[in-house]
Structure 1
Amino acid sequence: MRVRSAALATEPPAEGFAERGFDHARAFQNRVAEWAHDDDAKPVAVLRAPTGAGKTATFYEVIEENDLSLVVYPTNALLDQQLQRFRKWDGISAEPLNSDTLDGHGDGRVEDLLQLTDRFEGHDVVVTNPDILQAIIQDQYQGSTKPMQFFDRFDAVVYDEFHFYDDLAASGLLLQTHVMNDRRGTNVLLASATPNESFVEFVKHELSLPVRDITAEYVSDGDQFRRSVTVDRHDTRVIDEEREAVAERLRELVDDASDLSEPQVALVFNSVAASNDFHAYLAEEFPDVFEYAAKDNGFDTNDPDANLKSQGFFVLNTTSKGEVGLDYDIRTLFMETPPTPSAFLQRFGRAGREHEAVIHVFGLGDMAWPDVMCYPDFVTSIHEALGTHRSQDEAISTLRSLVGMRAAYAIHSRMAEDEWFGPELFADFESVSEYGKWRAFFRTVDSTLESAGEFGSPVMQNSATRKILAFAQHCFGAFESLRGRSLPVDIKYPRGDRHALTSYDLLTTLRYYDIEAIEPDGTLVVDRRGSTQPVAITARFPGYENRPRDYSGSNSEIKQMFSRWIYPEIEEAGLAETEVDEGVLRQFFSDLALPKAVIPIEVRYGQYVAYVDQAGITSVDVEHRQI
């Protein structure tokens, strides 16, 4: 079938677009410019504009109109790409804020953080990721109140691609928005091609912030932003099931290309393992294609030799990481169907931006599509096919809990510090919905565990009650970061052309790779597992040190394992004798995605065992088991 080209409504330029001599502006761009220039504007604007429509151009208006702006991107790769774009704009001084730009530790790191965001430094915009902002809120800089001065510095903040975050991470962005607006009245622009509408409703009704809704308008005779594309729907579920045919097509495209130094072909996989496998397959079976292929799927983030900036390539191999920021002229796209409509449309939108394109879709299933569709109807059909069964009320309820948990933990984690942090920090968080409930929950769990085993305590040291509460207390640590927890280890794996050194999560790696050896510095040398059968992996967790759990399955299977395990443990615990509310404990585990909230103290896999030190910065030591 064919999806026709699409165009957006245009108008004479307004505000900064007119001042800079634009012949015209897209209507939504004018609306953002008007919002940015209006002193009485609503504090939050939500921009809904499709991929390639020109959202980034509107950020100029926000930056130019404010003394100091903050622009937040979900990945460092996108941060770097957009930073270079900002630096090309006339009159704009842009600086990055990431782990590489902060030196030292403790007070020195805090000083670097605050100096970079000092408006007297002359920057117009600071470009960063949300993880750094969350680390400040959750007291990861160990500076009590001083790092929080960061949120006093900015007149405006832009969250781009805010659809990209799951519930746990989205709750962090919502808390950041609350703090910045509450402290300084900071204006907030939320931009996405496929917004999370539950997120938007939360801002309106839970944070009580008035919102200006700005949506790009499709028209038949406007400014074209998408070319027509041909959609080839494959019956197979994944690219791997047709990998030879796909590789042969790549060879044809390489042979026909006049310029192989610019990416025109992309493959988007649903998993890092599948992406890595295909890259290795090309290296072994199609070296003439592999020569012009590059891989950027997140697995090689810490590989010093994997740098897309330093190489020309024609074929890009990626995953969900490539759903945002692929500003290439993709003319042929092979994509596996992701679980959500927003992710699908982000992938789909990477092709057909400048030239007509062919998009091969795997795993979508039967769709009653006509031979030709307009783009807005196509978007609607994808939402109908892949839309979630969770209601908006359920989604907002989960966000309400998670934002409340984060706000409560921001105070709770600071209570053990010697330095008094004063009422201004309480003011940042106390007004958040459910703050009081979760603050009481954290406090009660801690106090109950502290007195366990003492005379008069209803909780014995080896009781079911102490075990479930110790496990819950361990899960509190999920709020120390934006996206949850993992076990990063150094890995050397067969990339196709070489053995590459990278850092990746141990448990995810063990699902797909076998450990072949351990180098003297602790680096794991791994090889792709030949069998598709799951390998036996067991994990032990705080509170249940003597009860290993099967950790062999997929993410969904691990979630089911936790559900089958946790709720019977709560039943057995007999919490009625304590001050811990059983209903709140159940909600805590229900709303918190446990695979992202826990890290095991020990992992066993075949002849290897990994010991996890959770004191301070988590470290992993993998050894041969003594059998």
Structure 2
Amino acid sequence: MTEFEVAGASLATETPEPALEDRGFEYARAFQNRVIEWIHDGTDPVSVVRAPTGGGKTATFYELIDSRDMTLLVYPTNALLRQQRERFEDDDVDVAVLNANTLEGHGHERTEQLIGFVNSYAADYDAILTNPDILQAAIQDMYVGSDPMRFFNWFDAIVYDEFHFYDALSASGLLLQIKIIAERQSDPKILLASATPNDEFVEFLREQVGLTVRDIGADYDPDGDQFRHRMVVRRHEDRKIFDYRDEIAAELEAKVEAVDDYDDPEVVLVFNSAKDSNDFHDFLYHEYPTVFEHTAKDNGFDTNDEGADLNDTEFYILNTTSKGEVGLDYDVTTLYMEKPFTASAFLQRFGRAGRQSEATVDIYGLGQGPWGENVDFPSFAEQIYEGLDSTQMNQKRLADLVGFRAAYAIMKREEDSYGFNQELREDFKSNIDRYEKWYRFIRAVNAECGEIKDGFGPGKYSQNDPEAKLLEFTRECFKTFQGLRGRSLSASIKYPRGDRLGVTTYDLSTTLRNYDIVDVGDDDILVLGPADDTILSTVTARLPAYETEPTQYDQTRGEIEEQLQTKIHRHIDQAELNNEFEVSTELLHRLFRIIDIVDAIIPSRITTSEYDIEIDDNSGGPPAINVQPRQI
């Protein structure tokens, strides 16, 4: 272990703009004034606000809300959405929440609810808080009819908070959303806010979509307004917090014994995996009950667990994962964090501590690098960007993803029987460089799928021909573009979380890499137990069209993806040898290089050592699973 200090930091200040002065600001951070100026006098439709965690970005949203007829605020997670709703309501800003729980039903019913929601709340609320998934569902024709696109006509201002949070696939959806909003409004205000913005995303808006962008950054000034305090950093080269569980638990026990009030969270642990987070919680319950009593857990497993609502829990210690990288506004004085995979995620985690008082940060898995000496906060941030992987996105890949999304949105509407307003084509194809290429490709795949024999009918291919399997698998992978973040196979599960079995929904493929199924309860709820490390796991998946080629699914996500990519590119090379195959193999290769197959495909069957799990993904709703004991 090595130890060094990161000094506090301050931001430049100015006399507040009248809008901020009216809100009681004695002074403003300089970047806040620039945002207010853009809101009232700026001609650029987009503004990118770059301010560090705790810098005061959210304060500028209030003026945007007040100055516009209807503002939409978009948050990457429901947890952050709920937290921000409470902040606005505490400040007497009337907001309504639109998420999956707000809408019920399917098809036209869901469409009418979406439009009706806006009609109902437009007069009574200052802003609507939502997630980008709902906007994308409207774009990708997941709500029946063309009417859902009217949703975009209602908002002349929109905020995408923490927009660094999205990977390339999700970012391509946001880019399409921004393009549509900008083109449908005569004077749009689109504010992108982040402590660690993705420059390639912003450059794509400029170069590919043709929007002008106002860059607003926070300036550091040692004589300015302090927003960060001194942090003592202890660097551990070993990767996992869990490997030091006894040592850390003893430190936590000492902290718990030293305080009288446990209502305000001050200690946070951030794990790289939900499994390690769960195991640490279970470990505290059995070995350190005093610490467990004052600890709350909030990772992906807890998102849909009705018994794990932080709003109803008083705690001193928070156990979380990347889910906690955004939106933690606690006075964190002690942070234990595992090094994430990118510089952006690192700074988001690191920025949770030291915002209101001095802090100690233990970082696990941070090896040798440009860090290690006492520095100020801006210098440390530069060292992290220098020493860790970049989060920047490839422009060509983004162009392909946006183009495919747009082409698929039109193709879906053409396939449906109800028709659509042809003006929508301009929403999707104008200023989209690769729209035409992918539109023709999707049509070619669909046409060639029509050459697969159905029974004794005519066609070039039988069901078992390698070309037929490749075509069907490809068309199945198109569905990754139906949503914002790709596809997942959610299952109802019970899992050990310490004092009880948590009941939640979680991605089944990820779950089975870490847990064993020990029983199947009512309504096909899978009861999980710890995986036996002494026994080789035997989880395999059979994928649509390739049911006879099981894929080992008990590896890491990266290993599974590498295995699937190797297989699919080999199949494409084989199809290229058939002179009658009328789909561009060059574009087939390209498609599978721009998507992650793991996020694009739902297995048709998963097999464990004791259970067979059949998956039905043809109902039009979420995939249904049927779990049966294996007949061995």
The answer, yes or no, to whether TM exceeds 0.5 is yes
- SS across alignment from 1:612: strand
Find the aligned partners of 2:272 and 2:73 in 1 and give their Cα distance: 28
Deviation at 1:457, TM superposition (A): 4.8
Describe the SS at the equivalent of 1:611: strand
Q: Kindly state the Cα deviation for residue 298 of structure 1 after the two structures are TM-superposed.
A: 1.4
In the TM superposition, residue 533 of structure 1 has moved relative to its aligned partner by 6.7
Identity of aligned residues (%): 48
Residue 249 of structure 2 corresponds to 247
Q: What's the counterpart of residue 164 of structure 1?
A: 165
The alpha-carbon deviation at position 593 of structure 1 amounts to 1.1
Please give the TM-score of this superposition, normalised by the length of structure 2.
0.96
Corresponding letter in the other structure for 1:100: N
Question: What is the DSSP-based 3-state SS (H/G/I as helix, E as strand, rest coil) of the residue aligned with 1:151?
Answer: helix
Of 461, 464, 488 in structure 2, the residue corresponding to residue 462 of structure 1 is 464
Give 1:301 deviation, angstroms.
Answer: 1.4
Q: Which amino acid aligns with 2:442?
A: F
Provide the secondary structure at the position in 2 that maps to 1:414. Answer: helix
Alpha-carbon shift at residue 187 of structure 1 (Å): 1.9
Inter-CA distance 534–147: structure 2 relative to 1 (3 Å threshold):
farther
Indicate if the aligned counterparts of 1:15 and 1:34 stay in contact, CA closer than 8 A.
no
Measure the CA separation in 1 of the matches of 2:571 and 2:536.
27
SS of the residue 1:214 aligns to: strand
Deviation at 1:189, TM superposition (A): 0.5
Alignment of 1:115-514 (within 5 A): 115-118=116-119, 120-142=122-144, 144-185=145-186, 186-388=188-390, 395-431=394-430, 432-453=432-453, 457-514=459-516
Letter paired with 1:625: R
C-alpha distance in structure 1 between counterparts of 2:304 and 2:371, whole Å? 42
Under a length normalisation based on structure 1, what TM-score does the superposition of the two structures give? Answer: 0.97
Q: Distance in 2 between matches of 1:109 and 1:512?
A: 36
Q: Which residue of 2 aligns with 1:596?
A: 599
Distance 1:349 1:307 in 2: 24
Aligned to 1:97: 98
Structure 1 residue 619 corresponds to structure 2 residue 624:
yes
Amino acid at match of 1:604: T
Greater shift in the superposed pair: 459-468 or 308-317: 459-468
Mark the runs of 5 or more structure 2 residues left unpaired by the alignment. Answer: none
The separation in 1 between residues aligned to 2:249 and 2:293, in whole angstroms, is 13
Cα drift, residue 519 of structure 1: 1.1
> Contact conserved, 2:606 with 2:613, CA < 8 A, in 1?
yes
Give the match's secondary structure for 1:267.
Answer: strand
Q: Which residue of 2 aligns with 1:18?
A: 21
Identify which of 11, 28, 31 aligns with 1:28: 31
Is this contact kept in 1: 2:370–2:386, CA < 8 A? no
> How far does the alpha carbon of each residue in 1:152-189 deviate from its partner, in whole angstroms, 9 at most, with x for none?
00011000000001111111111111111112243210
2 CA distance for matches of 1:447 and 1:534?
44
Q: What stretches of structure 1 of length at least 5 have no aligned partner?
A: none
Write the distance in 2 (CA, Å) between the matches of 1:462 and 1:526. 37
User: In structure 2, the residue corresponding to 1:422 is in which secondary structure?
Assistant: coil
Closer, same or farther: CA 554–120 of 1 in aligned 2, 3 Å:
closer
Specify which of 549, 560, 563 is matched with residue 565 of structure 2. Answer: 563
Q: Is the 8 A contact 1:157 1:189 kept in 2?
A: yes
Match of 1:114 in 2: 115
Q: CA deviation at 1:460?
A: 3.9
The answer on whether the counterparts of 1:405 and 1:435 sit within 8 Å (CA) in structure 2 is: yes
CA contact (8 A) 1:236 1:242 kept: no
1:11–1:24 CA contact under 8 A, matched in 2:
yes
The residue type paired with residue 225 of structure 1 is F
Task: Return the alpha-carbon distance in structure 2 between the equivalents of residues 191 and 108 of structure 1.
Answer: 34
Equivalent pair of 1:110/1:141 in contact (CA under 8 Å) = yes
CA-to-aligned-CA distance 1:220-255 (integer Å, 9 cap, x gap): 110000001000011311101111101111101111
Contact 2:200 2:395 in 1 (8 A): yes
Q: What is the CA distance between 1:99 and its match in structure 2?
A: 1.6
Letter in 1 for 2:628: E
Amino acid at match of 1:306: A
Q: Which amino acid aligns with 2:580?
A: E
2:425 is aligned with what amino acid?
F
How many Å apart are 1:456 and its aligned residue? 7.6
Q: 1:587 is matched with which residue: 590, 593, 600?
A: 590
